[in-house]
Copies of this chain bind each other. A is one copy, B any other.
Amino acid sequence: MDQNGKRLVYADNAATTAVSPAVLDAMLPFYKELYGNPSSLYSVGNAAKKPLEEARAKVARCLGADTNEIYFTSGGSESDNWAIKGVAHKLKAQGKTHIITSKFEHHAVLHTCAALEKEGFTVTYLDVHENGIVVPEELEAAITDKTALVTIMYANNEIGTIQPIPEIGAICKKHGVLFHTDAVQAVGNVPIDVKAQNIDMLSLSGHKLHAPKGVGALYIRRGISIPNLIDGGAQERTRRAGTENVAGIVGLGVAMENAMATMEEKNAKLRRMQDKLIDGILKIDRSRLNGDRIKRLPGNASFCFEGIEGESLLLMLDLKGVCASSGSACTSGSLDPSHVLLAIGLKHEVAHGSLRLSFSDMNDESDIDYILEVLPPIVERLRSMSPLWDAIIHGRTV
């Protein structure tokens, strides 16, 4: 990607993706002539209803769900909140006041769990170990007769590791415990089948797969009834009120369909790029890859560089036209190191030097080449300025 003659490599697709031209094309009519309210009787409104339901069918198909198990929301955070708070509040009356999650969930899950703790729920935060993967046996051991819900993310947003979802689904089924997964990073990148994998609820967000920001969905298996997060009008079969974001929803449908149709090819390409990137970056002295090398999203790789502080690394990369992040976009501006990197056992001072590079089908191998060209000198330069580096290479603790 070039812009104004300057090379631009967008390597932060785990934070958000560009809306693809096909998605935008599909959305535009709903910002123009098809502006009607899909709940209306007359033709202008009705013309919006059909595409809305077609988008629902597309999303359902991509997940192996039934059409009427899909509820559109404003994004991944809303879906996570609805699923987790919904189950908690529903099952509280039955004395089920325990939730199992992992230490490195997205804040949309962790802060929701924290809010429930304040209400009196107890939450078990499973270890994710050095490789960034939950151990199913540990999960099973954590289940008690008070357990209302297991919520484990499908793939981690900061380090890209993929969790053993089918195994977790089977365990939850065996114990009769509901299973929700935050699949915001996984949808469109790995094949998902909610029925085969025994997933009861699944959150997804459009802007991670070339649909716009501000639209997402929650899959709720038929038969599961949880209270609404947003009460009001009869939209979404009375379970999520609010005039539907028709353009966004139609965009989401198109984006999901495209992602499914091109997944295999895209992933083969991204894997090749990822291998090259990891091999190249690990040549840098005192660098490490975060999380399992194999069980990871093909488009996501996270590294740490000793003696480097993440923000200055990102700014230097930005000056070279490389957009990256140190971890989750939601917490940048925060001064604390990533809870994800601490969860996989990194020390604070190492966790500060993190770099996440995440790619989509809009990237190609030349982007990797460019990053491998500009990154090592930047790391070297920052280390040469660092009062710690000398101590680090001479093995003194800092």
Tell me whether B81 and A231 are in contact (CB under 8 A): yes
Tell me whether B18 and A74 are in contact (CB under 8 A): no
Tell me whether B15 and A245 are in contact (CB under 8 A): no
Known contacts A107-B241, A111-B241; A332/B8 CB under 8 A: no
Q: How far is the CB of A352 from chain B (nearest CB, A)?
A: 14
Asked if A315 is at the interface (CB within 8 A of a chain B CB), the reply is yes
Tell me whether A32 and B8 are in contact (CB under 8 A): no
**Chain A, range 231-276, C-beta contacts under 8 Å to B:** 231-235, 241-248
Asked if A300 is at the interface (CB within 8 A of a chain B CB), the reply is no
Asked if A158 is at the interface (CB within 8 A of a chain B CB), the reply is no
> How many copies of the shown chain assemble into the complex?
2
Asked if A114 is at the interface (CB within 8 A of a chain B CB), the reply is yes
Tell me whether B213 and A317 are in contact (CB under 8 A): no
Asked if A215 is at the interface (CB within 8 A of a chain B CB), the reply is yes
Across the interface, which residues of B come within 8 angstroms of A74, CB to CB? 73-75, 78, 214, 242, 245
Across the interface, which residues of B come within 8 angstroms of A330, CB to CB? 39, 232-235, 241, 243
Complex interface bits, A1-43 against B, C-beta within 8 A gives 1, otherwise 0: 0010000101010011111000010010001110111011111
Known contacts A213-B245, A213-B246, A229-B229; A43/B234 CB under 8 A: no
Across the interface, which residues of B come within 8 angstroms of A246, CB to CB? 213
Q: How far is the CB of A299 from chain B (nearest CB, A)?
A: 16
Interface segment out of the listed A290-298, A321-329, A364-372: A321-329
Query: Which of A19, A33, A39, A311 has the most B CB atoms < 10 Å from its CB?
Result: A39
Asked if A353 is at the interface (CB within 8 A of a chain B CB), the reply is no
Across the interface, which residues of B come within 8 angstroms of A31, CB to CB? 19, 24, 27, 212
Asked if A395 is at the interface (CB within 8 A of a chain B CB), the reply is no
Asked if A392 is at the interface (CB within 8 A of a chain B CB), the reply is no
Give the nearest-CB partner of A235 in chain B: B330
Across the interface, which residues of B come within 8 angstroms of A244, CB to CB? 213-214
Tell me whether B245 and A214 are in contact (CB under 8 A): yes
A99 to B317, CA, bound (A): 54
Query: Which of A75, A76, A322 has the most B CB atoms < 10 Å from its CB?
Result: A75
Tell me whether A242 and B332 are in contact (CB under 8 A): no
Asked if A106 is at the interface (CB within 8 A of a chain B CB), the reply is yes
Contact of A331 among B231, B234, B243 (CB under 8 A): B234
A8 to B42, CA, bound (A): 11
Known contacts A19-B31, A74-B214, A78-B74; A42/B230 CB under 8 A: no
Q: Can you pick out 11 interface pairs between chain A and chain B where the beta carbons lie within 8 Å of each other?
A: A10-B44, A17-B35, A37-B329, A42-B314, A42-B323, A109-B232, A111-B228, A115-B228, A214-B215, A214-B243, A232-B330
